[in-house]
Structure 1
Amino acid sequence: MRVRFILLLAAALLLTGCTGLSTIPENTPIERPWEEQYQALLAADSWQLRGKIGIRTASENHNASLFWDQLQQHYQIELSGPLGQGGARIDGNDEGITINIAGEEPLWAATPELLMEQTLGWQFPVRDLPYWIKGIPAPGHPYELSMNQQQPQKLIQNNWEINYLRFSNQNGYQLPQKLTISRNDLRLTIIAKEWQIPL
Protein backbone atom coordinates (compact mmCIF):
# COMPACT_ATOMS: atom_id res chain seq x y z
CA MET A 1 0.00 0.00 0.00
CA ARG A 2 2.86 2.37 0.78
CA VAL A 3 4.49 1.73 -2.60
CA ARG A 4 1.15 2.36 -4.32
CA PHE A 5 0.78 5.66 -2.47
CA ILE A 6 4.26 6.82 -3.47
CA LEU A 7 3.61 5.84 -7.09
CA LEU A 8 0.36 7.78 -7.14
CA LEU A 9 2.10 10.76 -5.61
CA ALA A 10 4.87 10.65 -8.22
CA ALA A 11 2.37 10.22 -11.04
CA ALA A 12 0.21 13.09 -9.90
CA LEU A 13 3.15 15.42 -9.42
CA LEU A 14 4.54 14.66 -12.86
CA LEU A 15 1.42 15.37 -14.87
CA THR A 16 0.55 17.40 -17.23
CA GLY A 17 14.83 18.22 -32.98
CA CYS A 18 17.18 16.18 -30.65
CA THR A 19 20.12 17.53 -28.68
CA GLY A 20 21.84 16.02 -25.67
CA LEU A 21 22.74 17.97 -22.57
CA SER A 22 25.90 19.99 -22.19
CA THR A 23 26.39 21.50 -18.76
CA ILE A 24 27.09 25.22 -18.76
CA PRO A 25 30.55 25.95 -17.35
CA GLU A 26 30.77 28.68 -14.75
CA ASN A 27 31.18 32.21 -16.10
CA THR A 28 29.93 31.19 -19.55
CA PRO A 29 28.04 34.15 -20.99
CA ILE A 30 24.35 33.56 -21.64
CA GLU A 31 23.79 34.00 -25.35
CA ARG A 32 20.07 34.77 -25.34
CA PRO A 33 18.24 37.28 -23.12
CA TRP A 34 15.66 36.00 -20.65
CA GLU A 35 12.63 37.36 -22.55
CA GLU A 36 13.70 35.51 -25.69
CA GLN A 37 14.28 32.30 -23.76
CA TYR A 38 10.92 32.66 -22.00
CA GLN A 39 8.97 33.11 -25.23
CA ALA A 40 10.69 30.18 -26.95
CA LEU A 41 10.20 27.81 -24.00
CA LEU A 42 6.60 28.93 -23.57
CA ALA A 43 5.88 28.07 -27.21
CA ALA A 44 7.64 24.67 -27.05
CA ASP A 45 4.74 22.24 -26.54
CA SER A 46 6.41 19.03 -27.76
CA TRP A 47 9.50 17.63 -26.02
CA GLN A 48 11.08 14.65 -24.31
CA LEU A 49 12.97 14.39 -21.05
CA ARG A 50 14.99 11.51 -19.64
CA GLY A 51 16.33 11.61 -16.14
CA LYS A 52 15.62 10.81 -12.52
CA ILE A 53 13.08 11.88 -9.95
CA GLY A 54 13.33 11.85 -6.17
CA ILE A 55 10.48 12.35 -3.73
CA ARG A 56 11.21 13.21 -0.11
CA THR A 57 8.66 13.55 2.65
CA ALA A 58 9.12 13.98 6.39
CA SER A 59 9.38 10.20 6.78
CA GLU A 60 10.38 8.73 3.40
CA ASN A 61 12.76 9.15 0.49
CA HIS A 62 12.21 7.47 -2.90
CA ASN A 63 13.89 7.61 -6.33
CA ALA A 64 13.04 6.41 -9.83
CA SER A 65 14.06 6.77 -13.44
CA LEU A 66 11.88 9.12 -15.45
CA PHE A 67 10.87 9.35 -19.11
CA TRP A 68 8.46 12.15 -20.08
CA ASP A 69 7.14 12.49 -23.64
CA GLN A 70 5.03 15.61 -24.24
CA LEU A 71 3.33 15.96 -27.65
CA GLN A 72 1.20 19.10 -27.50
CA GLN A 73 -1.76 18.18 -25.23
CA HIS A 74 -0.87 14.47 -25.02
CA TYR A 75 1.68 13.24 -22.49
CA GLN A 76 3.17 9.88 -21.61
CA ILE A 77 5.25 9.50 -18.46
CA GLU A 78 7.08 6.36 -17.39
CA LEU A 79 8.54 5.75 -13.94
CA SER A 80 10.82 2.78 -13.30
CA GLY A 81 13.33 1.62 -10.74
CA PRO A 82 13.29 1.37 -6.96
CA LEU A 83 10.33 3.69 -6.48
CA GLY A 84 8.23 1.83 -9.01
CA GLN A 85 8.75 -1.78 -7.92
CA GLY A 86 7.97 -2.63 -11.54
CA GLY A 87 7.07 0.83 -12.69
CA ALA A 88 4.16 3.00 -13.65
CA ARG A 89 2.94 4.52 -16.89
CA ILE A 90 0.80 7.63 -17.18
CA ASP A 91 -1.08 8.52 -20.37
CA GLY A 92 -3.17 11.64 -20.65
CA ASN A 93 -4.65 14.40 -22.77
CA ASP A 94 -7.50 16.90 -22.57
CA GLU A 95 -10.03 14.04 -22.37
CA GLY A 96 -8.61 12.30 -19.30
CA ILE A 97 -5.69 10.55 -17.65
CA THR A 98 -4.91 6.87 -17.07
CA ILE A 99 -2.28 5.51 -14.67
CA ASN A 100 -1.12 1.92 -15.02
CA ILE A 101 0.84 0.62 -12.04
CA ALA A 102 2.41 -2.83 -12.17
CA GLY A 103 0.14 -5.31 -10.37
CA GLU A 104 -2.72 -2.82 -9.93
CA GLU A 105 -5.96 -2.04 -11.73
CA PRO A 106 -5.64 0.98 -14.05
CA LEU A 107 -6.88 4.28 -12.63
CA TRP A 108 -8.70 6.89 -14.73
CA ALA A 109 -9.99 10.41 -14.12
CA ALA A 110 -11.13 13.31 -16.26
CA THR A 111 -8.24 15.50 -15.09
CA PRO A 112 -4.94 14.90 -13.24
CA GLU A 113 -6.09 17.29 -10.51
CA LEU A 114 -9.26 15.24 -9.97
CA LEU A 115 -7.29 11.99 -9.88
CA MET A 116 -4.95 13.44 -7.28
CA GLU A 117 -7.84 14.70 -5.17
CA GLN A 118 -9.61 11.33 -5.36
CA THR A 119 -6.57 9.19 -4.56
CA LEU A 120 -4.48 11.38 -2.27
CA GLY A 121 -7.04 13.80 -0.82
CA TRP A 122 -5.11 16.96 -1.69
CA GLN A 123 -4.28 19.02 -4.75
CA PHE A 124 -1.16 20.07 -6.63
CA PRO A 125 -0.98 22.64 -9.47
CA VAL A 126 -0.44 19.84 -11.99
CA ARG A 127 -0.89 22.00 -15.08
CA ASP A 128 1.95 24.29 -13.96
CA LEU A 129 4.57 21.54 -13.86
CA PRO A 130 5.35 21.33 -17.62
CA TYR A 131 6.29 25.03 -17.44
CA TRP A 132 8.26 24.79 -14.20
CA ILE A 133 10.28 21.85 -15.49
CA LYS A 134 11.32 23.94 -18.53
CA GLY A 135 12.44 26.76 -16.23
CA ILE A 136 9.63 29.26 -16.73
CA PRO A 137 6.61 30.43 -14.71
CA ALA A 138 3.23 29.03 -15.70
CA PRO A 139 1.08 31.60 -17.51
CA GLY A 140 -2.05 32.97 -15.91
CA HIS A 141 -0.88 32.89 -12.27
CA PRO A 142 1.04 35.46 -10.23
CA TYR A 143 4.62 34.58 -9.36
CA GLU A 144 7.89 35.79 -7.87
CA LEU A 145 11.04 35.09 -9.84
CA SER A 146 14.67 35.58 -8.78
CA MET A 147 17.20 35.74 -11.61
CA ASN A 148 20.98 35.43 -11.91
CA GLN A 149 22.61 36.45 -15.21
CA GLN A 150 19.55 35.73 -17.37
CA GLN A 151 18.88 32.42 -15.58
CA PRO A 152 16.03 31.77 -13.14
CA GLN A 153 17.23 30.84 -9.65
CA LYS A 154 14.05 30.67 -7.58
CA LEU A 155 10.40 30.71 -8.61
CA ILE A 156 7.50 30.98 -6.17
CA GLN A 157 4.08 30.26 -7.67
CA ASN A 158 0.83 28.86 -6.27
CA ASN A 159 2.53 28.58 -2.84
CA TRP A 160 5.20 26.22 -4.22
CA GLU A 161 8.92 27.00 -4.36
CA ILE A 162 10.96 25.91 -7.36
CA ASN A 163 14.76 26.17 -7.10
CA TYR A 164 16.88 25.83 -10.23
CA LEU A 165 20.26 24.39 -9.26
CA ARG A 166 21.92 23.55 -12.59
CA PHE A 167 21.34 24.25 -16.28
CA SER A 168 22.24 22.75 -19.65
CA ASN A 169 22.80 24.62 -22.90
CA GLN A 170 20.88 23.79 -26.05
CA ASN A 171 21.36 26.10 -29.03
CA GLY A 172 21.98 29.00 -26.68
CA TYR A 173 18.86 28.32 -24.60
CA GLN A 174 19.20 27.31 -20.96
CA LEU A 175 17.20 24.27 -19.82
CA PRO A 176 17.06 23.08 -16.21
CA GLN A 177 19.32 20.13 -15.52
CA LYS A 178 18.48 19.96 -11.82
CA LEU A 179 15.58 21.52 -9.94
CA THR A 180 13.63 21.05 -6.75
CA ILE A 181 9.92 21.69 -6.18
CA SER A 182 8.94 21.99 -2.53
CA ARG A 183 6.17 22.90 -0.14
CA ASN A 184 6.02 22.12 3.57
CA ASP A 185 7.48 18.62 4.13
CA LEU A 186 7.32 17.51 0.48
CA ARG A 187 10.24 17.96 -1.91
CA LEU A 188 10.43 16.74 -5.48
CA THR A 189 13.87 16.66 -7.16
CA ILE A 190 14.18 16.26 -10.91
CA ILE A 191 17.50 15.65 -12.65
CA ALA A 192 17.39 15.91 -16.44
CA LYS A 193 19.99 13.76 -18.16
CA GLU A 194 18.74 14.42 -21.67
CA TRP A 195 16.41 16.99 -23.21
CA GLN A 196 14.96 16.68 -26.68
CA ILE A 197 13.17 19.91 -27.50
CA PRO A 198 13.01 21.88 -30.75
CA LEU A 199 14.16 25.47 -30.14
Structure 2
Amino acid sequence: MCVALLLLSGCAYRAQEAPAGSWQAQQSTLEQLRDWQLSARLGIITPDERGSLSLFWRQERDDYRMNLTNVVGKRALDLSRRRGTIQLIDSEGQRHSADNARDLVYRLTGWDLPVEQLAHWIKGLPGEADQVEYDADGRPKTVRAHGWRLDYLGYTRIDGLWLPSRMDLSHNTTTLRLAISQWELNP
Protein backbone atom coordinates (compact mmCIF):
# COMPACT_ATOMS: atom_id res chain seq x y z
CA MET A 1 0.00 0.00 0.00
CA CYS A 2 1.46 3.31 -1.03
CA VAL A 3 0.56 6.31 1.06
CA ALA A 4 1.81 9.79 0.21
CA LEU A 5 3.30 11.29 3.35
CA LEU A 6 4.99 14.55 4.16
CA LEU A 7 7.94 14.92 6.48
CA LEU A 8 6.97 15.79 10.03
CA SER A 9 8.08 19.30 10.77
CA GLY A 10 8.67 21.00 14.12
CA CYS A 11 6.09 20.91 16.84
CA ALA A 12 4.50 24.10 18.11
CA TYR A 13 3.21 22.42 21.27
CA ARG A 14 4.68 23.98 24.41
CA ALA A 15 4.86 21.76 27.48
CA GLN A 16 4.46 23.23 30.95
CA GLU A 17 6.74 22.63 33.90
CA ALA A 18 5.49 20.08 36.40
CA PRO A 19 6.03 20.34 40.15
CA ALA A 20 8.41 17.75 41.58
CA GLY A 21 6.86 14.38 42.32
CA SER A 22 3.52 15.20 40.69
CA TRP A 23 3.59 12.32 38.20
CA GLN A 24 3.99 9.65 40.85
CA ALA A 25 1.11 11.18 42.82
CA GLN A 26 -1.14 10.85 39.76
CA GLN A 27 0.02 7.40 38.61
CA SER A 28 -2.95 5.48 40.08
CA THR A 29 -5.36 8.00 38.53
CA LEU A 30 -3.73 7.47 35.13
CA GLU A 31 -3.98 3.69 35.55
CA GLN A 32 -7.73 4.04 36.20
CA LEU A 33 -8.22 6.40 33.24
CA ARG A 34 -9.82 4.07 30.71
CA ASP A 35 -11.83 6.47 28.52
CA TRP A 36 -9.96 9.18 26.61
CA GLN A 37 -9.25 10.51 23.17
CA LEU A 38 -6.53 12.53 21.52
CA SER A 39 -5.49 14.20 18.30
CA ALA A 40 -1.86 14.24 17.23
CA ARG A 41 0.66 14.35 14.41
CA LEU A 42 2.48 11.07 13.86
CA GLY A 43 5.78 11.06 12.02
CA ILE A 44 6.87 7.70 10.66
CA ILE A 45 10.44 7.07 9.56
CA THR A 46 11.43 3.71 8.04
CA PRO A 47 14.17 2.78 5.58
CA ASP A 48 11.59 3.03 2.77
CA GLU A 49 9.38 5.87 3.94
CA ARG A 50 9.44 9.18 5.76
CA GLY A 51 6.25 11.07 6.39
CA SER A 52 3.57 12.52 8.58
CA LEU A 53 -0.01 11.58 9.36
CA SER A 54 -2.80 12.97 11.51
CA LEU A 55 -3.74 10.60 14.31
CA PHE A 56 -7.07 10.42 16.12
CA TRP A 57 -7.30 7.84 18.93
CA ARG A 58 -10.37 7.12 21.05
CA GLN A 59 -9.99 4.64 23.92
CA GLU A 60 -13.10 3.20 25.60
CA ARG A 61 -12.03 0.72 28.27
CA ASP A 62 -10.37 -2.17 26.36
CA ASP A 63 -11.73 -1.06 22.97
CA TYR A 64 -10.21 1.60 20.75
CA ARG A 65 -10.37 3.28 17.40
CA MET A 66 -7.22 4.66 15.81
CA ASN A 67 -7.66 6.67 12.62
CA LEU A 68 -4.69 7.82 10.53
CA THR A 69 -5.16 10.31 7.69
CA ASN A 70 -2.68 11.92 5.32
CA VAL A 71 -2.08 15.65 4.93
CA VAL A 72 -5.10 16.11 2.62
CA GLY A 73 -7.41 14.21 4.98
CA LYS A 74 -7.55 10.92 3.05
CA ARG A 75 -7.73 7.82 5.24
CA ALA A 76 -4.46 5.90 5.47
CA LEU A 77 -6.05 3.39 7.84
CA ASP A 78 -8.78 3.03 10.42
CA LEU A 79 -7.92 0.44 13.07
CA SER A 80 -10.33 -0.64 15.78
CA ARG A 81 -10.84 -3.22 18.47
CA ARG A 82 -14.42 -3.93 19.52
CA ARG A 83 -15.21 -6.74 21.96
CA GLY A 84 -11.88 -8.42 21.20
CA THR A 85 -12.20 -8.23 17.40
CA ILE A 86 -9.47 -6.29 15.60
CA GLN A 87 -10.38 -4.76 12.27
CA LEU A 88 -8.50 -2.50 9.88
CA ILE A 89 -10.04 -0.55 7.01
CA ASP A 90 -7.34 0.43 4.52
CA SER A 91 -7.10 3.47 2.24
CA GLU A 92 -9.11 1.63 -0.44
CA GLY A 93 -11.96 0.84 1.98
CA GLN A 94 -11.08 -2.86 2.23
CA ARG A 95 -11.70 -4.54 5.60
CA HIS A 96 -9.07 -6.79 7.17
CA SER A 97 -9.18 -8.72 10.46
CA ALA A 98 -6.55 -10.36 12.65
CA ASP A 99 -5.82 -11.43 16.21
CA ASN A 100 -2.88 -9.02 16.60
CA ALA A 101 -3.16 -5.32 15.67
CA ARG A 102 0.60 -4.73 15.38
CA ASP A 103 1.03 -7.66 12.99
CA LEU A 104 -1.99 -6.60 10.92
CA VAL A 105 -0.74 -3.01 10.50
CA TYR A 106 2.74 -4.24 9.62
CA ARG A 107 1.44 -6.78 7.07
CA LEU A 108 -0.68 -4.16 5.27
CA THR A 109 1.54 -1.06 5.52
CA GLY A 110 5.06 -2.11 6.49
CA TRP A 111 4.80 0.17 9.56
CA ASP A 112 5.82 -1.25 12.93
CA LEU A 113 3.28 0.32 15.33
CA PRO A 114 3.14 -1.04 18.91
CA VAL A 115 -0.64 -0.57 19.03
CA GLU A 116 -1.44 -2.57 22.17
CA GLN A 117 1.35 -1.04 24.30
CA LEU A 118 0.78 2.45 22.91
CA ALA A 119 -2.54 2.75 24.75
CA HIS A 120 -0.55 2.82 28.03
CA TRP A 121 2.66 4.46 26.85
CA ILE A 122 0.76 7.37 25.32
CA LYS A 123 -0.54 8.23 28.83
CA GLY A 124 3.00 8.07 30.23
CA LEU A 125 2.43 4.71 31.91
CA PRO A 126 5.27 2.22 31.53
CA GLY A 127 4.58 -1.43 32.30
CA GLU A 128 5.84 -3.11 35.46
CA ALA A 129 8.62 -4.97 33.60
CA ASP A 130 9.68 -1.92 31.54
CA GLN A 131 13.04 -0.24 32.22
CA VAL A 132 12.33 3.38 33.13
CA GLU A 133 14.46 6.48 33.66
CA TYR A 134 12.67 9.43 35.30
CA ASP A 135 13.08 13.17 34.77
CA ALA A 136 13.72 15.69 37.57
CA ASP A 137 9.94 15.88 38.23
CA GLY A 138 9.59 12.11 38.68
CA ARG A 139 7.89 11.51 35.30
CA PRO A 140 9.02 8.87 32.79
CA LYS A 141 11.76 10.29 30.59
CA THR A 142 13.02 7.15 28.81
CA VAL A 143 11.38 3.73 28.70
CA ARG A 144 12.77 0.52 27.22
CA ALA A 145 10.26 -2.26 26.64
CA HIS A 146 9.41 -4.96 24.08
CA GLY A 147 12.42 -3.90 21.98
CA TRP A 148 11.22 -0.28 21.88
CA ARG A 149 12.87 2.85 23.26
CA LEU A 150 10.48 5.67 24.20
CA ASP A 151 11.71 9.18 24.85
CA TYR A 152 9.16 11.49 26.50
CA LEU A 153 10.08 14.96 25.22
CA GLY A 154 7.32 17.03 26.81
CA TYR A 155 4.34 16.96 29.14
CA THR A 156 1.30 19.17 29.52
CA ARG A 157 -1.33 19.51 32.24
CA ILE A 158 -4.81 18.34 31.24
CA ASP A 159 -7.68 18.28 33.76
CA GLY A 160 -5.17 18.26 36.63
CA LEU A 161 -3.05 15.41 35.18
CA TRP A 162 0.39 15.60 33.58
CA LEU A 163 0.15 13.83 30.22
CA PRO A 164 2.75 13.45 27.46
CA SER A 165 2.68 16.06 24.72
CA ARG A 166 5.61 14.78 22.63
CA MET A 167 7.31 11.40 22.38
CA ASP A 168 9.78 9.59 20.12
CA LEU A 169 9.57 5.81 19.83
CA SER A 170 12.19 3.70 18.09
CA HIS A 171 12.49 -0.01 17.32
CA ASN A 172 15.01 -1.54 14.92
CA THR A 173 14.70 0.59 11.75
CA THR A 174 11.41 2.32 12.66
CA THR A 175 11.13 5.71 14.38
CA LEU A 176 7.79 7.22 15.38
CA ARG A 177 7.44 10.87 16.42
CA LEU A 178 4.24 11.76 18.21
CA ALA A 179 3.16 15.36 18.85
CA ILE A 180 -0.15 15.46 20.74
CA SER A 181 -2.20 18.59 20.09
CA GLN A 182 -5.36 17.76 22.05
CA TRP A 183 -6.33 15.46 24.92
CA GLU A 184 -9.89 14.83 26.09
CA LEU A 185 -10.39 12.74 29.23
CA ASN A 186 -13.61 10.81 29.83
CA PRO A 187 -15.23 12.11 26.61
TM-score normalized with structure 1 length:
0.76
Aligned residues: 179
What's the secondary structure of 2:125's corresponding residue? Answer: coil
- Structure 2: 5+ residue stretches without partners: 6-12
2:139 matched to 1:151?
yes
Once residues 88 and 114 of structure 1 are traced to their aligned partners in structure 2, the CA distance between those partners, rounded to angstroms, is 14
Aligned to 2:177: 189
Preserved CA contact (<8 Å) 1:56 1:188 = yes
- Distance change >3 Å, CA 31–CA 122, structure 1 → 2: closer
- Which residue identity is paired with 1:111? N
Higher helix residue share: 1
> By how many angstroms is 1:83 displaced?
8.7
From 141, 155, 158, the equivalent of 1:167 is: 155
> By how many angstroms is 1:87 displaced?
3.4
What's the secondary structure of 1:165's corresponding residue? Answer: strand
> By how many angstroms is 1:101 displaced?
1.6
- Distance change >3 Å, CA 60–CA 102, structure 1 → 2: closer
TM-score normalized with structure 2 length:
0.80
> By how many angstroms is 1:94 displaced?
4.2
Moved more, 65-74 or 113-122: 113-122
- Structure 1: 5+ residue stretches without partners: 7-21
What's the secondary structure of 1:38's corresponding residue? Answer: helix
> By how many angstroms is 1:170 displaced?
1.8
Preserved CA contact (<8 Å) 2:70 2:76 = yes
What's the secondary structure of 2:123's corresponding residue? Answer: coil
Once residues 76 and 101 of structure 1 are traced to their aligned partners in structure 2, the CA distance between those partners, rounded to angstroms, is 14
Q: CA RMSD in A?
A: 2.8
Once residues 123 and 186 of structure 1 are traced to their aligned partners in structure 2, the CA distance between those partners, rounded to angstroms, is 7
Aligned to 1:3: 3
